[in-house]
Amino acid sequence: MKAMTTEQFQQEIRLGIPATLPEARPYDPDINHAPRRKDILTTEQKRLALRNALRYFPRELHAQLAPEFAEELRKYGRIYMYRYRPTYEMRARPIDEYPARSRQAAAIMLMIQNNLDPRVAQHPHELIIYGGNGAIFQNWAQYRLVMKYLSEMTDNQTLVMYSGHPLGLFPSHPNAPRVVVTNGMVIPNYSKPDDWERMNAMGVSQYGQMTAGSYMYIGPQGIVHGTTITVLNAARKVGGDHMKLFVTAGLGGMSGAQPKAGNIAGVVSVTAEINPKAAQKRFDQGWVDELHDSLDELIPAVRKAVAEKRVVSMAYVGNVVDLWERLADEDVHVDLGSDQTSLHNPWAGGYYPVGLTLEESKQMMAEDPEQFKQKVQASLRRQVAAINRLASRGMYFFDYGNAFLLEAGRAGADVFEKGEKKTENGKLKTENGEVTAAKEKKADSSSQFSVLSSQLTTFRYPSYVQDIMGPMFFDYGFGPFRWVCTSGDPADLAVTDRLAAEVLEEMTKTSPADIQGQLADNLHWIREAGRNHLVVGSQARILYADCEGRTRIALAFNDAIRRGELKAPVVLGRDHHDVSGTDSPFRETSNIYDGSQFCADMAVQNVIGDAFRGATWVSIHNGGGVGWGEVINGGFGMVIDGSDDSDRHIREMLFWDVNNGIARRSWARNRGSMDAIKRQMEKTPGLKVTLPNLVDDEILDNL
């Protein structure tokens, strides 16, 4: 990497797409590159893809660039325009280092560069931030053009983004968003996975995931926090003040957050990981405390840690099925159980069946896929049988959004609830009279839950959104509020941590009982956050807060900027895994039971409303955690600079951003939301939300 002065960096940003051909950049084998994409285009469509790519460049360069781009398309299935990858170091710089006429635009440049930082991005040279296909831009020409536009725009312009492509700068006004982003917004009938492959290869659409295409990704901290509060609340559901034992699987990309979260949540955790390299990586990072490859050694160590009430995270380097069976055979009391193997991808390396080594599995999945599939299914049946034995002795097991129950069910494992009866509001009454949340399933044959439409039953274990995130967080407006200190100074982040903790402490004194637990968890989290060294890339932090919490924390930051206690503006945002931003029937809105879980009005309204209430940028995406065509999600970024305008934007926009989702959840008859929105109406003149009337079951039963 060539060392560059700030002036040279600024010059390269201002240059945008250079008029002459830059030097070719060699393909760096040390970087984690995106997999080769499907060869899906017809010959005619390939010509179109090239024509599309070349429109970013002056005609005199076309003869030279065309064969190069054709080769990229052939080799990688996409045209990334590697030659145009910038030569400067890719990382979030302090805001004042960006060439800009708008401070808001400079903050957006910082966020974009942070997403693309090789320490942060999954496949940085292919502009993929996370999740295998979560893109910020489709190619380097788009990146260069966007940075140039941002460097020259004023607060009287808005940049319009179509799936990574900058349509241009349009006149607007200082209270309008500086950037409006759409990603993957296609006509609904053209939203199958292959449609994405095709449109992305032609350079006209992209999978923005959630925070990738909205410039809001902050590295692994988000998943550590989400996992921590899930584990904390799962532990709370178990009850009692004894030391809890949490057993799970997976130390991969996101699942690797489990042991760290277990430590922060104060439990003993055991995470099985079949791949020694993945386990070693997390051990070297300090995310897991102990590695064990012998169950004879592990089981006594677990019993001892629980007895001594010693918070510790252990990895079992082996197959999770062996672990579950041994725990069940030896009658170890497990309080919490889950699984984060990659069962959304069961036949190609997401799940390794018991009885085979890693290498044997890899060989079999390539050479005898049918036999491999049978092994996976047999393994899942054994895994569930052991889990069921422990659950019958009191373990609380939950699905972690990785399709564990779905695939286990398809494999014929005993995961289905028996003998339940529907009651009012879509709840289920089981044989023992217990009432749990119902799991409505999509009947469409393409659905990941289509297996259930014929069996017409529900899982005996809940998913983490149905049981924890939905009713405990989203329904009350608690969601993943995050911020970035644009000074780039860790001291600023420490100030914001302190201010946020002070606000939460204040709130716990007067808050209603039903949200005390969430406040306490997040207070615990933010007090520990500095010590847990969670920052990778920009000086960012995340916590879960409700409308009041988010607003008060943001106002405290704005005041600190005004006083000069914080040295530079702060970017506020959130991920899309939230109360209002995301319509996703298999995740964020899986606890909506009035039939509207497949409607996406909320996500769209959310972003429109944010845009005219003070967001600095807004984004709306097709795709996200659970797949293209399965979810619509929206988000925002807001730059606060210590001004009165920022105070107003905070109050108006955060209010809408949280409460529109609570209102929708209330209309869906979610109890927590009905209470929360009534409380909000009492406090807020001008807020008038339509409330549902509940029907007695007998009236419907007697029809």
Ligand X SMILES: NC(=O)c1ccc[n+]([C@@H]2O[C@H](COP(=O)([O-])OP(=O)(O)OC[C@H]3O[C@@H](n4cnc5c(N)ncnc54)[C@H](O)[C@@H]3O)[C@@H](O)[C@H]2O)c1
Chain residues in the site for ligand X (CB under 6 A): 223, 226, 249-255, 272-275, 278, 319-320, 340-344, 350-352, 400-402, 464
Which 3-state string (H, E, C) describes 337-388? ECCCCCCCCCCCCCCCCCCCCHHHHHHHHHHCHHHHHHHHHHHHHHHHHHHH
Distance CA 245, CA 312 (A): 10
Phi, psi of 406 (to 5 degrees): -60, -50
User: Dihedral, CA atoms, 277, 282, 283, 286, nearest 10 degrees?
Assistant: 160
Which residues does 611 contact at the CB level (< 8 Å), separation at least 6? 176, 177, 180, 618
Q: Which is nearer to ligand X, 365 or 526 (CB)?
A: 365
| 251 or 542: CB nearest ligand X | 251
Taking Cα atoms as reference points, which of 425, 427, 571, 542 lies closest to residue 479? Answer: 542
Residue number, 466 or 616, with CB nearest to ligand X: 466
Task: Check if the beta carbon of residue 587 is closer than 8 Å to that of residue 626.
Answer: yes
Least separation in angstroms between residue 699's CB and ligand X is 38
How far apart are CB 531 and ligand X at their closest, in Å?
24
Minimum CB–partner distance for residue 622 and ligand X (Å): 18
Q: Which is nearer to ligand X, 260 or 552 (CB)?
A: 260
CA distance 98 to 125: 22
Least distance to ligand X, CB of residue 344, Å: 4
Strand-pair category, 268-273 with 582-583: unpaired
C-beta of 72 vs 475, nearer to ligand X: 475
Q: Is 349 left (phi over 0), alpha (psi -120 to 50) or beta?
A: left
Query: Which CB sits closer to ligand X, 264 or 560?
Result: 264
Q: What residue number has its CB nearest to ligand X?
A: 252
159: three-class secondary structure by DSSP: strand
Q: Which is nearer to ligand X, 341 or 660 (CB)?
A: 341
Q: What is the 3-state secondary structure (H, E, C) of 534-581?
A: CCCCCCEEEEEECHHHHHHHHHHHHHHHHHCCCCCCEEEEECCCCCCC
- Minimum CB separation from ligand X for residue 140, in Å? 26
Cβ proximity to ligand X, 82 vs 207, nearer residue: 207
The bridge status of strand 540-545 relative to strand 268-273 is unpaired
Strand partners, 142: none
Six token digits for residue 655: 């209010």
**Residue bearing tokens 């839950």:** 449
Q: Are strands 570-574 and 632-640 parallel, antiparallel or unpaired?
A: antiparallel
Least distance (Å) from ligand X to the CB of residue 404?
Answer: 8
Q: Min. distance of Cβ 230 from ligand X in angstroms?
A: 8
Q: What are phi and psi of 562, to 5 degrees?
A: -60, -45
At its nearest, how many Å lie between ligand X and the CB of residue 469? 8
Comparing CA positions, the residue from 116, 97, 119 lying closest to residue 107 is 97
Nearer to ligand X among residue 226 and residue 477 (C-beta): 226
79 phi/psi in degrees, rounded to 5: -110, 105
Q: How far is the CB of 51 from ligand X (least distance, A)?
A: 36
Q: Which residues of 542-553 are buried (b: 16+ CB within 10 A; e: fewer)?
A: bbbbbbbbbbbb
Taking the C-alpha atoms of residue 380 and residue 405, their distance in angstroms, rounded to an integer, is 9
CB 177 within 8 A of CB 168: no
Smallest gap from residue 293 Cβ to ligand X (A): 12
* Residue 275, token pair as written in the block: 């791949």
Q: Which lies closer to ligand X via its Cβ, residue 124 or residue 226?
A: 226
CB of 177 to ligand X, least distance (A): 28
Question: Minimum Å distance from CB 526 to ligand X?
Answer: 20
Report d(CA 641, CA 103) in Å as an integer. Answer: 9
108 vs 135, beta carbon nearer ligand X: 135
- The owner of tokens 């991969």 is 252
CB of 313 or CB of 319, closer to ligand X:
319
